[in-house]
Amino acid sequence: MTLEANFDITFTASLALREKQIQQNYRPIIGVHKWFARRPGTVFRNLLLAEFNGHEPIATGYWRTHNFFGVIADPFMGGGTPIYEANRLGFSVVGTDVNPMAYWIVRQALAPIDIEAFMAAAEAVIADVEHEIGALYRTECVSCRGQVDVKYFLWVKEQACPACGAANDLFPGYLLAEATRHPRHVVACGRCGALGEYERQPSLNDPAQCGECGHAVHVEGPARRGRIACRACEAVFNYPPKIGAEPPRHRMWAIEYHCPACKPRRGRFFKRPDSVDLARYDQARTRLNDARHLLIPIGAIPAGDETDRLHRWGYHRYREMFNDRQLLGLGLLLERVRAVDDIDARHALLTVFSDFLRYQNMLCRYDTYALKCQDIFSVHGFPVGLVQCENSLVGIPGIGSGAFRHFVEKYAKAKRYCAAPFETRQYGGRKEVVYVEGERIGADFVSHWPQADARQAKLLAASATHMPLPPASLDGVFTDPPYFDNVQYAELMDFCFVWLRLGIQGEMPAFQRESTRTPAELTGNDTMGRGIDHFTDGLSNVFRHYAAALKPGAPFVFTYHHNAPIAYIPLVVAVLDAGLDCTASLPVPAEMGASLHIAKTGSSVLDSVFVCRARPDIEARPRDDLPNRLRAEVSALAAGGVRVTEGDIRCLLAGHVARLAINCLRATWDGGVSLTERMRRAGKTISELGTGLDVSSFVVNIPQIQPDDDHQALQYEAALR
């Protein structure tokens, strides 16, 4: 049991923690395409090295080249992290995912490509689209009166007053830019819409005066908690409308642009839209109405745990999540990408197109602090804000982010990393990039069983149980399965899928479907009636299938965390049904505390790594000294720089309790009884083992935040709350 003995919690934590802060710099391969809740590549590299690199300390072996032989499987490949790390170390890989977007992303990451040919094709596409509609993304600089490129158009939702019919802007606040990356605060006037710059943020209690109309200016807006008072008749009404039959209306209220001639001055360039800007948008609407040939999704948005929020706001079709200029630009861009002859370059550009959609829709928001567009998936859902940010389509070279040009560069960076992977080593406050010569990320795709010494990949866009697995064929299973109901992968990835399938046009069977949703998905989902029993049964079937293909003594390794104790019952049932024992539960950093879906929630940023094996003895294993073990792990994490919170302790404790439950039940487990009975036994044992364990008593050796580190202190305090 090499992994259990060799894994270095402190070393792994120190690497994973830094990686999650700026993951695209440490693992640029994630730039191939967005996927949700990616686990750090450093974690899986360390897990694989701990198992297959003998007894060499990970801290020394981590930085050098390896070329292992064998076949590693991932039955829930998702964004592909275990697949990439195993492939990089020389293994052949077997990967499946029920979501065709996951299959496409992993395939594109492993596929060879001529980067120069890709870049040339991208530039040709960009040039054609700019020639066609570039003028729609221009404006007049208010200082030099020259024609310049727009970075972002800002829109606000409008709703008519049910009493008098007057249009009302649903502004939650009038602040456009904070005085951090711009010299002064930029605030819109609530009466005339003029953009003023102020040394301080004006408020209702201490307003400023508009330089154009003299009205009081303040950052507070009229829309609060779903209610607003009509600006014309003062009647109070709710938003969004209860019926929600129509998608929301929007009004353009601000523009950020780039002016090279005026750039020597400090700060950004903002303006209120003029009549020409509004006329250009009307021109886009007219051109869209005339362009009936463009490939634009027409399908309805199905009901779902996440998509129901869209329905409440009146979004019923995917095309309604984009404005007319976006639809015109995206349709033209997709048409031009599909015309690229080189199939590798075309598939790469289709991947870029699919990925950059998350910055090209009317659910994007503008970050008033960072002064940039926030993508639709800044949280793991469909947040419908009141103020929207329309990004430039193809983008300005070297300026801004989220446009097609920027995503082309990101994709090229990812593929260059695949050809020459590197690690980042920290020396005090200095970082050193260490290229691991001889390693690469790339594979030959095969339809047969991969050879152990040929760096091949067999990928399948289907349920994991559909992958044929010869007996004793796997040297290990390393995977990051769904965490019950934490992320609704299919509902979210459909946003990209409905466009990408138009570009692929029947080249692959998995993209002939209208949605990535399927009853076979294991993620818990109330709308589709998939509860904890569905998740347990599905997980059990997959674990049984893959465990039966393991070589004697080979590891079955997976990550997991969840705030609800009931969500650990499926793990216990699945591991025991597969005839495995849990030999270790190891703590690793998994998330970034500052992530929008984590911050201020008290949720854990740690995963438990479950190491399981088929053991010949069937005796129940004795309970270990859990309090001392957990305290030692907290100390090891703290030594690696992790600020451990009570939420983290709670999740680690749940992982250990699940491990102990497996150990206790293994000798008497009967996988032939009903699922209900198996879940009852697992739940009862988890409850008994967890009784009397006080989470707060394990919180030791937590590093103190320095008083001058205000930003981190606030994050830490929020996590503790």
Q: What is the DSSP string of 91-104?
A: -EEEEE-SSHHHHH
Residue 711, helix vs strand vs coil? helix
**Does residue 302 form part of some domain?**
yes
How many of the other CB atoms lie within 10 Å of CB of 646?
17
Which is nearest to 416 in space by CA: 121, 113, 120?
A: 113
3-state secondary structure 636-663: HHHHCCCCCCHHHHHHHHHHHHHHHHHH
In-domain check, residue 298 = yes
Question: What pLDDT is stored for residue 597 in this prediction?
Answer: 39
Provide the pLDDT for residue 530.
94
Is residue 373 located within the same domain as residue 514? no
When the pLDDT of each residue in the chain is averaged and rounded to a whole number, the result is 92
CA–CA dist 548, 472 (Å, integer): 8
Chain segment 459-495, per-residue pLDDT in tens: 999 999 999 999 999 999 999 999 999 899 999 999 9
456 and 559 fall within a common domain: yes
Query: Is 639 exposed, middle or buried (CB count within 10 Å of its CB: 0-12, 13-18, 19+)?
Result: middle
| pLDDT score at 695 | 64
Between 143-147, 558-562, 627-631, the lowest mean confidence (pLDDT) is in: 627-631
The whole-angstrom separation of Cα 186 and Cα 152 is 15
685 and 613 in a common domain: yes
Is residue 642 located within the same domain as residue 703? yes
How many Å apart are CA 135 and CA 403, to the nearest integer? 16
Look at residue 347 and tell me whether its pLDDT is greater than 70.
yes
* pLDDT for the residue numbered 595: 44
| Lowest-pLDDT choice from 418-422, 512-516, 620-624, 708-712 | 708-712
Interval 489-534: pLDDT, tens: 999 999 999 999 999 988 999 999 999 999 999 999 999 999 999 9
Question: DSSP E strands: which ranges in 570-666?
Answer: 581-589, 606-613
Residue 587: closest CA among 638, 662, 660, 663: 638
Considering only 111-125, 350-364, 505-519, which range has the smallest mean pLDDT? 505-519
- Per residue, the 3-state secondary structure of 185-197, as one string, reads EEEECCCCCCEEE
Residues 403 and 459 both lie in one domain: no
Report pLDDT for 698.
58
Which among 638, 655, 651 has a CA at the least distance from the CA of 700? 638
Residues 6+ apart with CB under 8 A from 680: none
- Identify the helix (H) or strand (E) that includes residue 10: helix 9-21
Q: What is the DSSP letter of 550?
A: B
CATH number, domain containing residue 561: 3.40.50.150
Q: What is the pLDDT of residue 628?
A: 86
In SS3 terms, 446-502 reads as CCCCCCCCCCEEEEECCCHHHCCCCCCCECEEEECCCCCCCCCHHHHHHHHHHHHHH
Same domain, 349 and 448: no
Contact call for residues 611 and 557 (beta carbons, < 8 A): yes
Cβ-contact 203, 219 below 8 angstroms: yes
Mind listing the pLDDT tens digit for each residue in 704-717?
333 233 333 233 22
Residue 703: the pLDDT is 42
Say if residue 701's pLDDT is above 50: no
Is the distance from CB of 317 to CB of 301 less than 8 angstroms?
A: yes
**Spatial separation of the C-alpha atoms in residues 478 and 469, rounded to whole Å:** 15
The more confident residue out of 559 and 703 is 559
Examine residue 198 and state whether it is found in any structural domain, yes or no: no
Domain containing 477 equals 2-111+442-720
Mean pLDDT confidence for 444-448: 97
Task: Report which residue type is found at 188.
Answer: A
Whole-angstrom Cα distance, residue 357 to residue 494? 12
Work out the percent of the chain whose per-residue pLDDT is above 90. Answer: 83
Residue 23 has φ and ψ, to the nearest 5°, of -65, -35
In this predicted model, what pLDDT tens digit does every residue of 69-82 receive, in sequence order?
A: 999 999 999 999 99
Instruction: Indicate whether 283 and 350 sit together in one domain.
Output: yes
Percent of the chain with pLDDT over 70: 93
> Whats the size of the chain, residue-wise?
721
Contact 357, 407 (CB under 8 A): no
Do residue 67 and residue 150 come from a single domain? no
Q: What pLDDT sits at residue 602?
A: 55
Q: What angle do CA 46, 39, 666 make, to 5 degrees?
A: 75
Do 100 and 146 belong together in one domain?
A: no
> Whole-angstrom Cα distance, residue 386 to residue 363?
9
In DSSP notation, 24-69 reads HHH-GGGGGS--SSPPPHHHHHHHHHHHHSTTS-HHHHTTS-----
Domain for residue 378, yes or no?
yes
Q: Looking at residues 129-140, what average pLDDT do you find?
A: 97
Confirm if 457 and 95 have CB atoms less than 8 A apart.
yes
- Mean per-residue pLDDT for 627-649? 90
Answer yes or no: do 106 and 147 share one domain: no
Residue 718 scores a pLDDT above 50: no
Total domain count for the chain? 2
Q: Token pair 């609530």 is at which residue?
A: 190
Q: Final residue of a domain: which of 411, 430, 465?
A: 411
Do 28 and 140 reside in the same domain of the chain?
no
Do the domain assignments include residue 437? no
pLDDT average, residue stretch 171-177: 98
Average pLDDT of the residues in 184-193: 97
- Euclidean distance between CA atoms 507 and 196, whole angstroms: 53
Residue 1 banded pLDDT, cuts 50, 70, 90: low
| Residue labelled with tokens 């025991």 | 576
Rounded Cα distance between 459 and 83, Å, is 10
* Residue 507 within a domain: yes
Question: Burial level of 362, CB count in 10 A (0-12/13-18/19+)?
Answer: buried
CA 443 – CA 138 distance, rounded (Å): 43
pLDDT digits (tens, 9 = 90+) for 83-112: 999 999 999 999 999 999 999 999 999 999
In a domain, 54, yes or no: yes
Are 88 and 153 members of one domain?
no
Containing 617, the helix (H) or strand (E) segment is none
> Please, which pLDDT band fits residue 601 given cuts at 50, 70 and 90?
very low
Distances (CA, A) of 197 to 48, 185, 192, 308, 591: 55, 5, 15, 39, 37
Residue 699: pLDDT band with limits 50, 70, 90: low
Contact at 8 Å (CB) between 252 and 277?
yes
- Distance separating alpha carbons of residues 137 and 349, to the nearest angstrom: 22
End-to-end CA distance of the chain: 39
> What is the arithmetic mean of pLDDT over 308-337?
97
Residue pLDDT, tens place only, 365-414: 999 999 999 999 988 899 999 999 999 999 999 998 899 999 999 999 99
Residue 196 in domain? no
The helices-and-strands tally (H runs, E runs) of the chain is 20, 25
CB atoms within 10 A of CB 54: 10
pLDDT digits (tens, 9 = 90+) for 9-37: 999 999 999 998 888 899 999 999 999 98
Both tokens of residue 150? 């727009």
Could you say which of 394, 411, 428 is where a domain stops?
411
